[in-house]
Structure 1
Amino acid sequence: MEMIQIVGLGLIATVLILVVREQKPIFAFVLAAFTGVYLFLFLIGKIDAVIKVLEDLANRSSIPSIYMSTILKIIGIAYIAEFGAQIVRDAGQESIASKIEFAGKILILVMAVPIISVIVESVMNLLPAGG
């Protein structure tokens, strides 16, 4: 049912944007941006529910919370960067959209370093001491 609402809103917004774009391109962009933001806010509750389930799984499996929170932040950065880049693309600014995506990738890499370090350290501890 929610997907029908999302598609319906998307179709209505698309028709309005196509009608308005000829006369007032800036209003068409604003309408597209607000539609995207509304859909994002509409889905926040779903995202929150998924985060709670993942946190519960992490607690039950004794995964340190710092790793789970870092992974969730990485996922959040990916979604936000993609969302921002799409809005900027809608405005016709491909170059800026690419920069947003690049910044998101860099931030993801920075946040992943501690997790990568733990993985490498764990693998090194499994290997027999050379010599």
Structure 2
Amino acid sequence: MNIVGIAGVAVCAAVIAAMLRRYHQEYAVLLSIAAGVVILLEIFASVAPAMHQIQTLFSATGLTTDYILILLKTLGISFLAQFAADSCRDAGENALASKMELAGKISIVILSLPLFEKIAETAVNLIGG
């Protein structure tokens, strides 16, 4: 599926959800979440070749695979947190959506701590401390 197919799924789901929202709010939310999952799965399937190319680029630089792993995990966390927060907003739970975004940001910071440590270590070595 390409961007046209993804856009078609999104528009159709949005129209059907808008019609359902009048009579059955809970079904509209479920439809919205299901369409979001289908779209995310399609996006992840089409991202696989790009991940292979990123891995090839990192291999050519001689950097360890730890950096690419942190990058990919960070991207995954940000996509998942945004999807969950948007789903919460669709359900009318704005406070829960904000907390989900905060949890995603904190998870990314925690995941990035080894990178910050390595950068600080490099800076201290360059300064001569």
| 1:50 correspondence with 2:47 | no
Task: Give the C-alpha shift of residue 126 in structure 1.
Answer: 1.0
Identity value in percent: 29
Q: Deviations over 1:75-94 (max 9, x none)?
A: 11111111111111110101
After TM superposition, the runs of 4+ consecutive aligned structure 1 residues lying more than 4 A away are none
Residue type of the alignment partner of 1:91: A
Distance 1:86 1:115 in 2: 29
Higher deviation after alignment, 63-72 or 120-129: 120-129
- Write the distance in 2 (CA, Å) between the matches of 1:38 and 1:26: 19
Give 1:116's aligned residue: 116
What TM-score, normalized to structure 1?
0.92
Q: Which structure has the larger Rg?
A: 1
SS at match of 2:23: coil
Equivalent position of 1:38 in the other structure: 38
In 2, Cα distance between equivalents of 1:111 and 1:5: 34
Unaligned runs of 5+ in 1: none
One-letter identity of the residue aligned with 1:82: Q
Counterpart position of 1:99: 99
**1:50 counterpart letter in structure 2:** A
Unaligned runs of 5+ in 2: none
Provide the residue aligned with 1:4 in structure 2. Answer: 4
**In structure 2, C-alpha distance between the alignment counterparts of 1:15 and 1:113, rounded to whole Å:** 43
TM-superposed CA distance for 1:2, in Å, is 1.6
Matching residue of 2:59: 59
Query: CA separation in 1, counterparts of 2:67 and 2:12?
Result: 41
Equivalents in 2 of 1:11, 1:74: separation in Å?
A: 29
**1:90-130: per-residue Cα shift (whole Å, max 9, x none)?**
1010111111111111111111110011011111111145x
The CA distance in 2 between the partners of 1:2 and 1:85, in whole Å, is 25
